[in-house]
């Protein structure tokens, strides 16, 4: 067993709560202190990070697509309002939503915005001893400050997103713990400077199932608290509220009040205040794997600095792109694309991406298994 403390290799992008891992290692083995956290969400399958700009979705009819688009624009929009915009009853909207959620195709979650909380996000690439890569990935997945952990087609490579609240936590993991882990041979850490697709970067609008008038009727005003604003300082009620909304972003004020021991008025006002400040956002995730899209690929793009912003804007219009961010390091941008298969991936790489003349180098790595998704 490696220092990561998990036995076996098993098959192979909600931090905030969870405490210690109750079960310990899968086989009763020792878990080092840096890995002893319970993850909010273990999941295999494909994490779309919300935009879901896929050209073809098997199994979703026109109303389903319009509903998903509506919830991407406002994950907590009242079903009565959605029904008015879509031209159907609120009962029909509720029934469709419950059906998609029960099938595991769609979920709405409320999540805290890292930068609004003064946190820093990192993208990590770990080169591990190939036989131990799955163990390292599972250990990282147990940490409450990791959001996405995956194994790639490069032998021994683990990808991970990390959120740090202070320099001490960052330095402890990146400068001491990981370098001292015997099964980890190399760590490359890139700071996420700005997210362009996915997370809180405006996940609605790329599906284009609604017409412009319908989209405008459902789109929420841009939140306050932009660049340079003072970070939000959470009080004791925020972590359990975030945890409840991460589990079900459409939980009613009554349900939240009962769970948290507060009033319905408090729940409604707190959510509205956090959303207006930009500290809390809602995303509608669609599991593309359940709809026939099984290929996830990580991309690292290099551009001249003067063209990075233009390339990032172009990526926001590419439907296969489910995540894109400007980062530090050898590459200027990191992205993830979801396609139906390898042929569709080739069509994207040799089509829209190749047409971006400012991109001077592309590294593409297939993602084989997602160990944790937020």
Instruction: Quote the CA–CA distance of 57 and 231 in Å, as a whole number.
Output: 39
Indicate if the pLDDT at residue 92 is higher than 90. Answer: yes
> Given pLDDT bands bounded at 50, 70 and 90, which one contains residue 343?
very high
Name the average pLDDT for the chain: 81
CB atoms within 10 A of CB 337: 24
At residue 217, φ and ψ (nearest 5 deg) are: -70, -25
User: What is the predicted pLDDT for the residue at 207?
Assistant: 63
For residue 366, give the H/E element and its range: strand 361-373
Instruction: Quote the CA–CA distance of 265 and 140 in Å, as a whole number.
Output: 38
Instruction: Quote the CA–CA distance of 49 and 311 in Å, as a whole number.
Output: 20
Burial class (CB in 10 A: 0-12, 13-18, 19+), 90: middle
User: What is the predicted pLDDT for the residue at 226?
Assistant: 55
Q: Which CATH architecture has domain 62-113+204-286?
A: Orthogonal Bundle (1.10)
**Could you report the per-residue pLDDT of 206-235, keeping only the tens digit for each?**
567 899 999 999 998 877 755 556 677 778
User: What is the predicted pLDDT for the residue at 124?
Assistant: 96
Instruction: Quote the CA–CA distance of 276 and 281 in Å, as a whole number.
Output: 9
Using the structure block, give the residue that is written with the tokens 């990580």. Answer: 298
Q: Where are the alpha helices (DSSP H) in the chain?
A: 62-73, 79-86, 90-102, 133-141, 167-171, 178-180, 212-218, 238-247, 253-260, 264-277, 308-315, 342-348
Least confident piece of the model among 101-105, 123-127, 325-329: 101-105
> Given pLDDT bands bounded at 50, 70 and 90, which one contains residue 14?
very low
User: What is the predicted pLDDT for the residue at 199?
Assistant: 67
Least confident piece of the model among 65-74, 102-111, 143-152, 198-207: 198-207
């Amino acid at each position: 067993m490696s220092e990561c403390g998990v036995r076996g290799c098993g098959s192979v992008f909600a931090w905030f709560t969870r405490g210690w891992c109750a079960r310990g290692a899968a086989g009763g083995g020792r878990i080092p202190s840096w890995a002893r956290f319970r993850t909010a969400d273990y999941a295999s399958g494909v994490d779309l990070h919300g935009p879901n700009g896929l050209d073809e979705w098997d199994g979703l009819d026109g109303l389903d697509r319009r509903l998903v688009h509506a919830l991407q624009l406002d994950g907590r929009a009242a079903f009565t309002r959605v029904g008015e915009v879509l031209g159907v009853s609120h009962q029909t909207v509720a029934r469709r939503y419950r059906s998609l959620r029960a099938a595991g195709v769609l979920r709405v979650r409320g999540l805290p915005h890292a930068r609004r909380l003064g946190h820093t996000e990192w993208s990590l690439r770990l080169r591990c001893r190939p036989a131990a890569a799955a163990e390292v990935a599972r250990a990282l997945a147990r940490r409450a400050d990791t959001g996405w952990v995956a194994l790639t087609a490069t032998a021994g490579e683990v990808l991970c997103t990390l959120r740090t609240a202070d320099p001490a936590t960052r330095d402890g993991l990146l400068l001491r713990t990981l370098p001292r882990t015997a099964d980890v041979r190399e760590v490359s850490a890139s700071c996420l400077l700005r997210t362009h697709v996915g997370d809180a970067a405006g996940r609605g609008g790329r599906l284009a199932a609604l017409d412009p008038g319908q989209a405008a009727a459902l789109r929420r005003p841009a939140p306050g608290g932009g660049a340079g604003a003072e970070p939000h300082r959470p009080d004791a009620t925020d972590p359990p509220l975030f945890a409840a909304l991460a589990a079900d972003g459409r939980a009613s004020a009554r349900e939240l009040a009962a769970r948290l021991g507060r009033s319905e008025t408090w729940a409604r006002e707190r959510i509205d205040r956090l959303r207006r400040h930009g500290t809390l956002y809602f995303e509608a995730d669609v599991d593309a794997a359940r709809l026939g899209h099984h290929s996830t690929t990580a991309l690292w793009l290099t551009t001249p600095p003067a063209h990075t912003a233009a390339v990032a804007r172009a990526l926001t219009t590419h439907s296969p792109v489910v995540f894109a961010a400007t980062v530090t390091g050898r590459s200027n941008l990191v992205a993830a694309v979801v396609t139906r298969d390898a042929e569709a991936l080739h069509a994207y790489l040799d089509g829209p991406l190749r047409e971006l003349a400012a991109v001077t180098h592309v590294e593409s790595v297939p993602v084989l298994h997602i160990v944790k998704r937020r």
